[in-house]
Structure 1
Amino acid sequence: MNINSNENYLSLVITALDELIAPEVNSAAAKTAVEMMKTTLNELRKREADAPVVIKTCIVEGRKVLVDMLLCAGEAQPIFKEIGNELHFDCLLLEYQQLTSQLHAVSETLRAEHSGDQVAGLLRRVAEWELSYYTNTAALKVAEAPKFENPRQPLTKSALQDFINSLDEHIGAPVQLDKFESLMGGFGKQTFLCSYKKPDGRTRELVVRKSDPMPIMLHGSCLLDNEHALLCALPEDYPAPKPLAYAAQWQNVDGDFYIMDRSAGEVPGAFLHGMNKEMPEEVFLDLAEMLGQLHSVPLNTFSDYAEKYDAPNILQGTVADSYRANLAGWAGYIQEQEHLPSPYLIWLMNWLETNLPEDTRTPVLVHGDFNIHNVLVNEGRISAILDWECAGFGATEQDLAYIRPHISQHIEWTKFLNHYLAHGGREPDEAMMNYGMVYAALRTNLAGNKATFNLQQGRNRDLRYSMVELGFTPSFMNLALNSAKG
């Protein structure tokens, strides 16, 4: 996969400083620091672009000055090493610094031991030479960040308020939002929090889940309407978000969204970095219980959903049939959508297709991203399972393999597994665990590829997506390769 350039990363950081950090900065010292950071980062951008040419030219000119100064001082002529086509700034910088030291030494000699107009002229010439680098680099222009023109607008407080007031329950009794803020979080969707006062004076908090204006995945439950329909199909008593209303092409907003009541609790950790703090054992047993309950939901619960959003016969086939259909879908998606070249993805698809076990069990609904970063914990217990965009039908082992590394860091895996089995889970087939883990990596690696492609094309300038290459992509590549050894 093509790697992001230094220029791309630097311009992303500057964009974040401008759009996210600077507006939140209050003190004069902090504002000054932000401006100095931007100046420094733009200097680094120049060093990744045209500054090497400037410093190389300075070296060539500085050598000419040194020759003339040594002639005047009556000293031996230097032998310079060939610069050639070298344009790496740090290598040229080392040569420049050595040349500066030589010019400094001969300038001291000339000043101490010689005099006259020639010496004065040479000393001025070397002073002008030293200034030239700064003058010429200051004149360099940094490239504008690539832009992708989107004719539609981000979700605003007023647009969201208009949508809420268009719902039946608010006709004739409009509400006014008193809070609307973006929440940092996952990479596949945008999330917002809003609130308003109800007629009885109590505050109602809503969460908005919205498509990114440049989605990183356009297949399966990663599509927002697909995810919304799946959440609506889940049993009412399952602890998942309950959508209240879906906004399709609302006003001029740059992506569909749906709203739901905010669930109590906080996310206890991140996939790559683990738990934010110690959690009681009950949290991990709740995970086992909820995963067991999910895997025991009767397949006919999803008949209408599968008819509209999946292959209708996927619920009548086997686990092996599910994965064959899923892989065919992903292969078609890869052909249809533009991605960065990746030999790794070719290997991954080939391994999944050639190593698919002939599993004759019936499939279950698989969450696909069931882990500590996608749950809410309230007062020491799990209150909700979040982010269903990786869900699909397949083997229970896909979820179990995915969560086992994290669970094993906190409680014994056998204890988790027994609790899972006691709440409707299916006895795992160890032979399917590796396959489940490799398959789980497919969607994340495809999404990461597309996210990096969007950054490189200027379709997205969100700093969060730099974390794909700097964390998620290598982690999931490694996960799949290690699991495929077995």
Structure 2
Amino acid sequence: MDSGKRRLLAVIAESMARMATRYGVPASDMDHVALTTAVGELFRREETGAIKTFYSEGYALALRLSAMSEQDGVAASDIARLHRLPRSIEDMADFAPSQDLLFELKKVLSSLIANSGYPSDSNADLTNIISSLCKWEGDHHIGSPLPAAKGKDRYDFKQMLESSARAQAGAFDGAQVMEFTRLIGGFTNETTLFKLAGKDGRIWALVSRANTGLELGIDGRDIAGEFHLLRYLYQGGVSVAEPMWLESDVERYGTKFLVTRKVEGENFGTVVESQRRTSSQIRALAIQLAKIHCLPLNGAHPDLQLSHIDMELAGRSMTEGVSNYLERWIRLWRSTGLENSPTIEATLNWLRTNIPVVDDAPVLVHGDYALHNIMMQGNEITGVLDWEMSHLGNPAEDISGLLASFSNEGDAEEFMRFYIESGGRPITAFEREYCNIFRYFMLYVVTLESQLRFYSLPEVHPEFLVLGSFVQLPAQRMAQAIEAADIAKTQRITTVAKSHG
């Protein structure tokens, strides 16, 4: 990087930091974080030294892995591909070609791991290499570029809401949108707060959620399915926003969207930061989650049939529910065409091999029961938001994600006591650790996909870049999480063996 460009970038970075301090910009201000992330990315793209070092370290690990694979000859083509790659990147190489070489190296590593037999046929040396690769990938992550796409035309959302409301007739006949605020924070769905005024002077505070057209995350999610699930949950006494209507006329409006009443209260923060909870709030969180997990599921109910919940899993086991959900995420990962992560390849092998065996029927899982999706007024939960990732599975999926945001284990133990007292099923330490690994895998996929969407789709908000910047987090923690789960599994097996001794 020439000195003039470096100085300009340094001025931008320093000025942003001063502005944040002077005006008290919170860490959750996504626009500020996006700008900071963008400047950091510009710096990174000008510094090829880090990429060269990273590549050399990865190549050395690939040689160690290939030496083990040569013993059975399964990975002969992968080893040949490895030896066709240079051992190091030239000193004068630019960012783009360096990135391409790194991408090819990671593809070879991923294939070598897929053929290594890990974790079923692992030994100490292979386990150490896998752990080193997870740390290597987490320390420095570089995604691959997608071809640029043209921006799409944006619809007039305010006019769309007003037109759709009037089409509902009744009290909404002739209604007008008075206030209109589109929120940052939705990746697959856009959230809009608005007030609707009827001809009789009545005011409704409402919220819409509309498909963005960006398929970010798990497949099979649908606004219509979420709307029908919300109706079922609302009738079942779960604290969700009251569903008002579903707009399915895509030909007229260009997208599907649902409308609910606005939930009163505040949440605990955002995906970036959260607030500390009191004992009363922990109790409320536990009671509400137990209610969700214990909710009777009537497969004959029309709303449940029209929802996105796969009721064919209702008569099976939790083990099958988790396996089904895992395979959906694996399909998503494969569909990106970016199967170049040794960390993910090792993690997928481990997740498939170690699914917790639980014969109980699967329960309704929210899928993202996190503090930023829970609204509270005082110590009472007024609404659980964003049900697009809900499915039938193991309650540990929701519990592990929520407890990860607790600052100490005492709060987690208090939560579990309230949860079990409210009818929730106790979960084992291994179930919790397994779901932690599953969560890191999902986070890795979503963050990487978000990063790629930002660079390939001009119409997406810079918040996608912010989410993408977190891609190192799951990669860095994966090996440690697998180690913790293996310890918990061993302890569980030992305990079971003693109980039958």
Q: Which interval holds the TM-score relative to the shorter structure? A: 0.5 to 0.7
1:179 aligns with 2:173: no
Larger C-alpha radius of gyration, 1 or 2? 1
Amino acid at match of 2:373: N
What fraction of aligned residue pairs are identical, expressed as a percent? 20
Number of residue equivalences: 358
Q: Secondary structure at the match of 2:450?
A: helix
Map 1:412-451 → 2, pairs under 5 A:
412-451=411-450
Q: In the superposition, relative to structure 1, how do residues 340 and 352 fare at CA in structure 2: closer, same or farther (>3 Å)?
A: closer
Question: Deviations 1:192-214 (Å, cap 9, x if unpaired)?
Answer: 11102245534211111111232
Of the three residues 253, 271, 291, the one matched with 2:289 is 291
Q: In the superposition, relative to structure 1, how do residues 396 and 149 fare at CA in structure 2: closer, same or farther (>3 Å)?
A: same
Map 1:190-209 → 2, pairs under 5 A:
190-209=190-209
Q: In the superposition, relative to structure 1, how do residues 205 and 217 fare at CA in structure 2: closer, same or farther (>3 Å)?
A: same
Aligned to 1:470: 469
Question: Deviations 1:98-132 (Å, cap 9, x if unpaired)?
Answer: xxxxxxxxxxxxxxxxxxxxxxxxxxxxxxxxxxx
Map 1:24-423 → 2, pairs under 5 A:
86=92, 148-149=149-150, 152-170=153-171, 173-217=173-217, 219-220=219-220, 222-236=221-235, 237-250=237-250, 253-275=253-275, 278-300=276-298, 305=304, 309-339=308-338, 341-409=340-408, 412-423=411-422
Q: Secondary structure at the match of 2:369?
A: coil
- In the TM superposition, residue 308 of structure 1 has moved relative to its aligned partner by 6.5
Aligned to 1:140: none
RMSD: 3.6
Q: In the superposition, relative to structure 1, how do residues 450 and 388 fare at CA in structure 2: closer, same or farther (>3 Å)?
A: same
Aligned to 2:21: none
Is the 8 Å Cα contact of residues 264 and 376 (structure 1) preserved in structure 2?
yes
- In the TM superposition, residue 232 of structure 1 has moved relative to its aligned partner by 2.5
- In the TM superposition, residue 427 of structure 1 has moved relative to its aligned partner by 1.4
Q: In the superposition, relative to structure 1, how do residues 253 and 347 fare at CA in structure 2: closer, same or farther (>3 Å)?
A: farther
Q: Secondary structure at the match of 1:159?
A: helix
- In the TM superposition, residue 353 of structure 1 has moved relative to its aligned partner by 0.6
- In the TM superposition, residue 425 of structure 1 has moved relative to its aligned partner by 0.8
Q: In the superposition, relative to structure 1, how do residues 336 and 469 fare at CA in structure 2: closer, same or farther (>3 Å)?
A: closer
Distance 2:254 2:476 in 1: 35
Is the 8 Å Cα contact of residues 370 and 402 (structure 1) preserved in structure 2?
yes
Amino acid at match of 1:360: D
Runs of 4+ in 1 over 6 A off after TM superposition: none
Q: In the superposition, relative to structure 1, how do residues 170 and 365 fare at CA in structure 2: closer, same or farther (>3 Å)?
A: same
Amino acid at match of 1:476: P
Distance 2:325 2:195 in 1: 39
Amino acid at match of 1:148: A
Q: In the superposition, relative to structure 1, how do residues 152 and 219 fare at CA in structure 2: closer, same or farther (>3 Å)?
A: same
Q: In the superposition, relative to structure 1, how do residues 225 and 371 fare at CA in structure 2: closer, same or farther (>3 Å)?
A: same
- In the TM superposition, residue 161 of structure 1 has moved relative to its aligned partner by 0.6
Indicate the structure whose relative CO is greater, using CA pairs within 8 Å and at least 6 residues apart. Answer: 2
Is the 8 Å Cα contact of residues 224 and 307 (structure 2) preserved in structure 1?
no
Is the 8 Å Cα contact of residues 213 and 254 (structure 1) preserved in structure 2?
no
Distance 1:283 1:247 in 2: 35
Q: Secondary structure at the match of 2:255?
A: coil
Q: Secondary structure at the match of 2:154?
A: coil
- In the TM superposition, residue 387 of structure 1 has moved relative to its aligned partner by 1.3
Is the 8 Å Cα contact of residues 281 and 411 (structure 1) preserved in structure 2?
no
Aligned to 1:454: 453
Is the 8 Å Cα contact of residues 207 and 260 (structure 1) preserved in structure 2?
yes
Is the 8 Å Cα contact of residues 397 and 432 (structure 1) preserved in structure 2?
yes
Greater Cα shift, 458-467 or 308-317: 308-317
Amino acid at match of 2:207: V
TM-score (normalised: structure 2): 0.63
What stretches of structure 2 of length at least 5 have no aligned partner?
A: 17-34, 48-89, 96-146, 486-501
Distance 1:302 1:354 in 2: 34
Amino acid at match of 2:446: A
Is the 8 Å Cα contact of residues 196 and 203 (structure 1) preserved in structure 2?
yes
Q: Secondary structure at the match of 1:484?
A: helix
